[in-house]
Homo-oligomer: A and B are copies of this chain.
Amino acid sequence: MRVDQRNLDQLRPIKITKDYIKHAEGSVLIEVGDTKVICTATIDEKVPPFMRGQGKGWITAEYSMLPRATETRNIREASKGRIGGRTMEIQRLIGRALRSVVDLEALGERTIWLDCDVIQADGGTRTASITGAFIAMADALGKLREKREWAQLPLRDYLAATSVGIIGEEMALDLAYVEDSSAIVDMNIVMTGNGQFVEVQGTGEEKPFTYDQLQGLLELGRKGVQELVALQKEALGEVATYINQGD
Protein backbone atom coordinates (compact mmCIF):
# COMPACT_ATOMS: atom_id res chain seq x y z
CA MET A 1 0.00 0.00 0.00
CA ARG A 2 2.75 2.49 0.96
CA VAL A 3 5.57 3.30 -1.41
CA ASP A 4 7.94 1.03 0.55
CA GLN A 5 5.32 -1.62 1.48
CA ARG A 6 5.19 -0.50 5.11
CA ASN A 7 2.06 -0.71 7.20
CA LEU A 8 0.32 2.58 7.90
CA ASP A 9 1.45 2.50 11.52
CA GLN A 10 5.01 1.41 10.85
CA LEU A 11 8.20 3.45 11.16
CA ARG A 12 10.90 3.24 8.47
CA PRO A 13 14.06 1.29 9.43
CA ILE A 14 16.07 3.32 11.94
CA LYS A 15 19.87 3.16 12.21
CA ILE A 16 21.84 5.03 14.85
CA THR A 17 25.66 5.32 14.60
CA LYS A 18 27.16 6.95 17.66
CA ASP A 19 30.52 8.77 17.89
CA TYR A 20 30.31 9.57 14.21
CA ILE A 21 32.44 12.73 14.37
CA LYS A 22 35.58 12.45 16.45
CA HIS A 23 35.90 16.07 17.56
CA ALA A 24 32.40 16.54 19.00
CA GLU A 25 31.47 15.92 22.63
CA GLY A 26 28.49 13.92 21.38
CA SER A 27 27.68 12.90 17.82
CA VAL A 28 25.41 10.57 15.95
CA LEU A 29 24.49 9.67 12.39
CA ILE A 30 20.79 8.93 12.47
CA GLU A 31 19.17 7.23 9.47
CA VAL A 32 15.39 7.08 9.20
CA GLY A 33 14.87 5.22 5.94
CA ASP A 34 16.80 7.28 3.40
CA THR A 35 16.84 10.39 5.58
CA LYS A 36 20.33 10.78 7.08
CA VAL A 37 21.27 13.45 9.59
CA ILE A 38 24.56 14.09 11.38
CA CYS A 39 23.78 15.45 14.84
CA THR A 40 26.56 16.82 17.02
CA ALA A 41 26.43 18.24 20.53
CA THR A 42 28.98 20.84 21.61
CA ILE A 43 29.26 21.87 25.22
CA ASP A 44 30.33 25.46 25.66
CA GLU A 45 31.27 26.53 29.19
CA LYS A 46 29.34 29.79 29.01
CA VAL A 47 25.84 31.05 28.26
CA PRO A 48 24.68 33.80 25.87
CA PRO A 49 24.77 37.36 27.27
CA PHE A 50 21.02 37.52 27.98
CA MET A 51 21.30 34.57 30.41
CA ARG A 52 24.47 35.38 32.32
CA GLY A 53 24.44 35.30 36.06
CA GLN A 54 21.23 33.29 36.43
CA GLY A 55 22.95 30.02 37.22
CA LYS A 56 21.11 28.30 34.37
CA GLY A 57 22.19 26.70 31.14
CA TRP A 58 20.95 27.08 27.60
CA ILE A 59 20.27 24.78 24.64
CA THR A 60 20.41 26.06 21.09
CA ALA A 61 20.14 24.28 17.75
CA GLU A 62 21.17 24.85 14.17
CA TYR A 63 19.90 22.94 11.17
CA SER A 64 21.15 22.80 7.63
CA MET A 65 21.05 20.65 4.51
CA LEU A 66 23.89 19.83 2.17
CA PRO A 67 23.08 21.15 -1.33
CA ARG A 68 22.53 17.68 -2.76
CA ALA A 69 20.68 16.25 0.21
CA THR A 70 17.66 16.76 -2.05
CA GLU A 71 16.57 15.61 -5.48
CA THR A 72 17.51 18.92 -7.08
CA ARG A 73 20.44 20.95 -5.80
CA ASN A 74 19.40 23.63 -3.30
CA ILE A 75 21.44 26.82 -3.02
CA ARG A 76 23.50 27.14 0.16
CA GLU A 77 22.15 29.63 2.68
CA ALA A 78 25.71 30.91 3.14
CA SER A 79 25.74 31.82 -0.56
CA LYS A 80 22.41 33.58 -0.27
CA GLY A 81 23.73 35.46 2.74
CA ARG A 82 20.73 34.67 4.89
CA ILE A 83 18.97 31.79 6.58
CA GLY A 84 15.56 31.02 5.12
CA GLY A 85 12.29 30.90 6.96
CA ARG A 86 11.97 27.12 6.82
CA THR A 87 15.42 26.65 8.37
CA MET A 88 14.71 29.23 11.07
CA GLU A 89 11.44 27.55 11.94
CA ILE A 90 13.07 24.13 12.15
CA GLN A 91 16.03 25.16 14.25
CA ARG A 92 13.81 27.06 16.67
CA LEU A 93 11.66 23.92 16.98
CA ILE A 94 14.65 21.66 17.64
CA GLY A 95 16.08 23.98 20.29
CA ARG A 96 12.76 24.49 22.04
CA ALA A 97 11.97 20.78 22.03
CA LEU A 98 15.32 19.70 23.43
CA ARG A 99 15.26 22.44 26.04
CA SER A 100 11.97 21.07 27.39
CA VAL A 101 13.60 17.94 28.83
CA VAL A 102 16.77 19.53 30.18
CA ASP A 103 17.02 20.62 33.78
CA LEU A 104 18.71 23.94 32.98
CA GLU A 105 19.52 24.68 36.63
CA ALA A 106 21.26 21.34 37.02
CA LEU A 107 23.16 21.95 33.79
CA GLY A 108 24.62 25.15 35.18
CA GLU A 109 25.95 28.07 33.13
CA ARG A 110 26.75 26.09 30.01
CA THR A 111 25.38 26.16 26.48
CA ILE A 112 24.79 23.01 24.49
CA TRP A 113 24.93 23.61 20.74
CA LEU A 114 23.08 21.02 18.72
CA ASP A 115 24.03 20.95 15.05
CA CYS A 116 21.81 18.90 12.78
CA ASP A 117 23.15 18.60 9.24
CA VAL A 118 21.05 16.65 6.79
CA ILE A 119 23.32 14.85 4.37
CA GLN A 120 20.48 13.03 2.59
CA ALA A 121 16.80 13.96 2.78
CA ASP A 122 13.73 11.80 2.27
CA GLY A 123 11.07 13.41 4.45
CA GLY A 124 10.96 13.84 8.22
CA THR A 125 14.32 15.62 8.51
CA ARG A 126 13.20 17.82 11.39
CA THR A 127 11.84 14.95 13.45
CA ALA A 128 14.89 12.80 12.74
CA SER A 129 17.00 15.76 13.84
CA ILE A 130 15.20 15.96 17.18
CA THR A 131 15.45 12.22 17.78
CA GLY A 132 19.15 12.19 16.86
CA ALA A 133 20.04 15.40 18.68
CA PHE A 134 18.66 13.94 21.90
CA ILE A 135 21.14 11.07 21.65
CA ALA A 136 24.08 13.35 20.84
CA MET A 137 23.13 15.60 23.72
CA ALA A 138 22.71 12.73 26.18
CA ASP A 139 26.06 11.32 25.13
CA ALA A 140 27.79 14.67 25.59
CA LEU A 141 26.13 15.03 28.99
CA GLY A 142 27.26 11.50 29.83
CA LYS A 143 30.87 12.60 29.40
CA LEU A 144 30.25 15.72 31.44
CA ARG A 145 28.66 13.60 34.17
CA GLU A 146 31.81 11.57 34.51
CA LYS A 147 34.01 14.64 34.69
CA ARG A 148 31.72 16.45 37.14
CA GLU A 149 30.80 13.26 39.04
CA TRP A 150 27.10 14.00 38.77
CA ALA A 151 24.77 11.27 40.02
CA GLN A 152 22.39 11.80 37.13
CA LEU A 153 22.31 13.54 33.79
CA PRO A 154 20.45 16.89 33.98
CA LEU A 155 17.61 15.45 31.90
CA ARG A 156 13.98 15.09 32.95
CA ASP A 157 13.06 12.47 30.38
CA TYR A 158 13.73 11.06 26.91
CA LEU A 159 12.56 12.99 23.87
CA ALA A 160 11.81 11.86 20.34
CA ALA A 161 9.74 13.02 17.39
CA THR A 162 8.00 11.72 14.31
CA SER A 163 5.60 12.90 11.66
CA VAL A 164 2.11 11.69 10.88
CA GLY A 165 -0.27 12.68 8.13
CA ILE A 166 -3.37 12.02 6.12
CA ILE A 167 -2.76 10.66 2.65
CA GLY A 168 -5.94 10.40 0.67
CA GLU A 169 -8.30 8.91 3.25
CA GLU A 170 -5.66 7.11 5.31
CA MET A 171 -3.68 8.18 8.36
CA ALA A 172 -0.02 7.17 8.19
CA LEU A 173 3.05 7.23 10.44
CA ASP A 174 6.53 8.54 9.51
CA LEU A 175 5.98 9.99 6.06
CA ALA A 176 8.64 9.61 3.38
CA TYR A 177 9.13 12.54 1.02
CA VAL A 178 6.74 11.39 -1.69
CA GLU A 179 4.07 10.73 0.92
CA ASP A 180 4.62 14.07 2.59
CA SER A 181 4.23 15.91 -0.71
CA SER A 182 0.83 14.43 -1.33
CA ALA A 183 -0.47 14.56 2.26
CA ILE A 184 -3.47 16.84 2.83
CA VAL A 185 -2.70 17.11 6.54
CA ASP A 186 0.81 16.99 7.98
CA MET A 187 1.65 16.88 11.68
CA ASN A 188 4.88 16.79 13.65
CA ILE A 189 4.69 15.36 17.13
CA VAL A 190 7.38 15.67 19.78
CA MET A 191 6.84 13.61 22.92
CA THR A 192 8.68 12.61 26.05
CA GLY A 193 9.56 9.10 27.10
CA ASN A 194 6.57 8.95 29.42
CA GLY A 195 4.11 9.84 26.67
CA GLN A 196 3.43 13.52 27.20
CA PHE A 197 3.36 16.13 24.46
CA VAL A 198 6.10 18.72 24.00
CA GLU A 199 5.10 20.02 20.60
CA VAL A 200 2.13 19.35 18.38
CA GLN A 201 2.22 21.12 15.01
CA GLY A 202 -0.51 20.19 12.61
CA THR A 203 -1.23 21.95 9.34
CA GLY A 204 -4.12 21.42 7.01
CA GLU A 205 -2.98 23.66 4.20
CA GLU A 206 -4.74 21.67 1.52
CA LYS A 207 -7.81 20.91 3.54
CA PRO A 208 -8.77 21.56 7.16
CA PHE A 209 -9.08 18.54 9.44
CA THR A 210 -11.69 17.42 11.90
CA TYR A 211 -11.48 16.79 15.59
CA ASP A 212 -11.64 13.02 15.00
CA GLN A 213 -8.82 13.07 12.49
CA LEU A 214 -6.71 15.00 14.96
CA GLN A 215 -7.29 12.28 17.58
CA GLY A 216 -6.24 9.53 15.20
CA LEU A 217 -3.06 11.32 14.23
CA LEU A 218 -2.09 11.93 17.84
CA GLU A 219 -2.49 8.22 18.58
CA LEU A 220 -0.31 7.17 15.63
CA GLY A 221 2.36 9.66 16.65
CA ARG A 222 2.36 8.39 20.24
CA LYS A 223 3.00 4.85 19.00
CA GLY A 224 5.90 5.95 16.78
CA VAL A 225 7.60 8.01 19.46
CA GLN A 226 7.46 5.12 21.94
CA GLU A 227 9.33 2.91 19.48
CA LEU A 228 11.90 5.65 18.86
CA VAL A 229 12.52 6.11 22.57
CA ALA A 230 13.17 2.38 22.92
CA LEU A 231 15.81 2.65 20.18
CA GLN A 232 17.38 5.70 21.86
CA LYS A 233 17.75 3.77 25.12
CA GLU A 234 19.39 0.90 23.37
CA ALA A 235 21.79 3.19 21.49
CA LEU A 236 22.79 5.06 24.63
CA GLY A 237 23.82 1.90 26.44
CA GLU A 238 25.30 2.63 29.83
CA VAL A 239 24.55 6.35 29.59
CA ALA A 240 20.84 5.42 29.64
CA THR A 241 21.17 4.31 33.24
CA TYR A 242 21.75 7.93 34.26
CA ILE A 243 18.63 9.33 32.57
CA ASN A 244 15.38 9.86 34.42
CA GLN A 245 12.27 8.59 32.81
CA GLY A 246 9.73 11.40 33.43
CA ASP A 247 6.82 10.53 35.61
Contacts and interface: CB of A to CB of B under 8 A. Distances in A.
Interface of A: 21-24, 27, 34, 38, 40, 42, 44, 62, 64, 66-71, 73, 76-89, 91-92, 96, 99-100, 113, 115, 117, 119-121, 157, 187, 191-192, 196-211, 214, 218, 246
A197 B209 contact: yes
B208 A100 contact: yes
Contact of A67 (B77, B115, B205): B115
B89 A42 contact: no
B100 A204 contact: yes
Contact of A78 (B66, B67, B78, B210): B78
Contacts of A208: 100, 157, 191-192, 196-198, 246
A78 B88 contact: no
Contacts of A89: 85, 88-89, 92
In the A-B complex, the 5 residue pairs with the smallest Cβ-Cβ separation, listed nearest first, are A196-B208, A77-B78, A85-B88, A40-B68, A24-B68
B83 A79 contact: yes
B210 A197 contact: yes
28 contacts: A21-B66, A22-B120, A23-B68, A23-B121, A40-B66, A42-B67, A44-B73, A62-B67, A64-B78, A67-B115, A73-B115, A78-B87, A79-B83, A81-B81, A82-B82, A84-B88, A89-B89, A89-B92, A96-B205, A100-B208, A157-B208, A196-B208, A197-B209, A197-B211, A198-B204, A198-B205, A199-B202, A201-B201
A82 B77 CA distance: 9
* Residue picked from A21, A38, A209, A214, most chain B C-beta under 10 Å: A21
B205 A68 contact: no
Contacts of A34: 22
A57 to B, nearest CB: 15
A28 to B, nearest CB: 12
Contacts of A196: 204, 208-210
Given A82-B82, A211-B218, A205 B73 contact: no
